[in-house]
Structure 1
Amino acid sequence: MQDHVLKRIDDLISRGNAAARSQSPQDYWMKDVVEAQSWFSSAANAIHQVAPPGSFYMAELKRIVEHEQLNGGFPISSIKKLLGLLQSVQHEAQAGLLVKLEDQVVALAFDDFLDHATQYHKAGKLKEAAVLGSAVLEDTIKRIARKSEIAVNGMSLEPLIDELTKRSVFTQVKAKRLKSYAAVRNHALHAEWEKLDIRDVGAQLSGLRELLDEHLWR
């Protein structure tokens, strides 16, 4: 995760701790509503930016920010709960676990895409299968490249595959196979349906399952 994001979370935790300490043990509501609103919004936004959709963190964030008492102010307990959630997110992010969780959420969605693509393939719907498979291929290769700190902007699939091979993320054999999948993707992208073969699309779909298992699920 990028250093500036972790630095922002660290700053918010320091600010939240200072705000909580400024209250007396007898207080129920935060006295400075403007500061509480500012911090609460920033902390919630930071969690939203780094926590994967569908994760525990997003569900817990929703529960905290939708508490009915927030309609009348900011209970100290709500501030502390959000502060605790933010600290947990920080620890997970520093350990790289949020990135891994995000990969698994994405892999689950891609699995669904590939299920649909496989059904199209079995039904002989070449175009539909190729388009879905190609979308998964492109996003997955770029996601793997980002994990390897490779800038993906403006780069096509083959140069990315070459760069990942140089860094030993892919073997030469794997790279050759991925480039054949990229060729299927290029034909689908340019609607060159006459250049597509049902067997090549099938090989692409099977290979993508393997790619997800090796690089996103683990």
Structure 2
Amino acid sequence: MEIANNILIAALDDMRGGYLVGMKELVEAEIFSDFMDQAEELYSKGYHPAAAVVAGCVLEDALRKLCEQQSKIELRDKPKLSWMNDRLKEHDIYNMLTHKKITANAELRNKAAHGEWEEFDKDDVKEMMSSINTFMQKHFG
């Protein structure tokens, strides 16, 4: 019983010290990584449209997380990727070039999700995944 009590006290100290917030971010980063690994696997097996959809979901969730981190951005219920992208640019979280890359990646994701596969090719998807990986590294380490 004493061991369990000491574990709970240590966990409470960690929470009060802000260390569990870091743990949450580590878990989220691992989830992002797992989904990007799934996108890479789909791509490598020739399913580049599905890879684009999965990678696009990672991007959308990343934008939501960035918005949540900004007290000056109030998230609406079920915000669209384009809305979040615009808010993050307006608040100088990233520059116009990043905004344009995100817009292009979102468009590719939408085309893949709606079966407009003649509008892009596997090289476009590879570039998209690379761009999203770079974005994730920059903003989430």
- Percent identity of equivalent pairs: 27
Task: Using the TM superposition, give the Cα deviation of residue 113 of structure 1 relative to its aligned residue in structure 2, in angstroms.
Answer: 2.2
> What residue is the counterpart of 1:136 in the other structure?
58
Deviations 1:14-66 (A, max 9, x none): xxxxxxxxxxxxxxxxxxxxxxxxxxxxxxxxxxxxxxxxxxxxxxxxxxxxx
Task: Write the letter of the residue equivalent to 1:203.
Answer: E
Q: 2:77 aligns with which of 135, 145, 153?
A: 153
Aligned CA distance change for structure 1 residues 171 and 100 (closer, same or farther; 3 Å) = farther
Two-structure CA RMSD over aligned residues (Å): 2.1
Deviations 1:199-218 (A, max 9, x none): 2211110011111111112x
> What residue is the counterpart of 1:177 in the other structure?
101
Task: Using the TM superposition, give the Cα deviation of residue 180 of structure 1 relative to its aligned residue in structure 2, in angstroms.
Answer: 0.4
> What residue is the counterpart of 1:13 in the other structure?
none
> What residue is the counterpart of 1:168 in the other structure?
92
Task: Using the TM superposition, give the Cα deviation of residue 175 of structure 1 relative to its aligned residue in structure 2, in angstroms.
Answer: 0.5
Contact 2:53–2:110 (8 Å) recurs in 1: no
1:1-218 equivalences in 2 (<5 Å): 75=1, 78-92=4-18, 97-149=19-71, 150=73, 151-217=75-141
Contact 1:117–1:129 (8 Å) recurs in 2: yes
Aligned CA distance change for structure 1 residues 203 and 152 (closer, same or farther; 3 Å) = farther
Task: Using the TM superposition, give the Cα deviation of residue 134 of structure 1 relative to its aligned residue in structure 2, in angstroms.
Answer: 1.4
Higher relative contact order (CA 8 A, sep 6+): 2
Aligned CA distance change for structure 1 residues 76 and 114 (closer, same or farther; 3 Å) = closer
Contact 2:52–2:125 (8 Å) recurs in 1: yes
> Which 5+ residue runs of structure 1 have no aligned equivalent?
1-74
Contact 2:52–2:112 (8 Å) recurs in 1: yes
- Return the TM-score normalized by structure 2: 0.83
Contact 1:142–1:152 (8 Å) recurs in 2: no
Task: Using the TM superposition, give the Cα deviation of residue 152 of structure 1 relative to its aligned residue in structure 2, in angstroms.
Answer: 4.6
Aligned partners of 2:29 and 2:92: how far apart in 1?
A: 22
Aligned CA distance change for structure 1 residues 84 and 152 (closer, same or farther; 3 Å) = same
| 3-state secondary structure, aligned to 1:205 | helix
- Return the TM-score normalized by structure 1: 0.57
**Greater Rg by CA:** 1
The count of residues paired between Structure 1 and Structure 2 equals 139
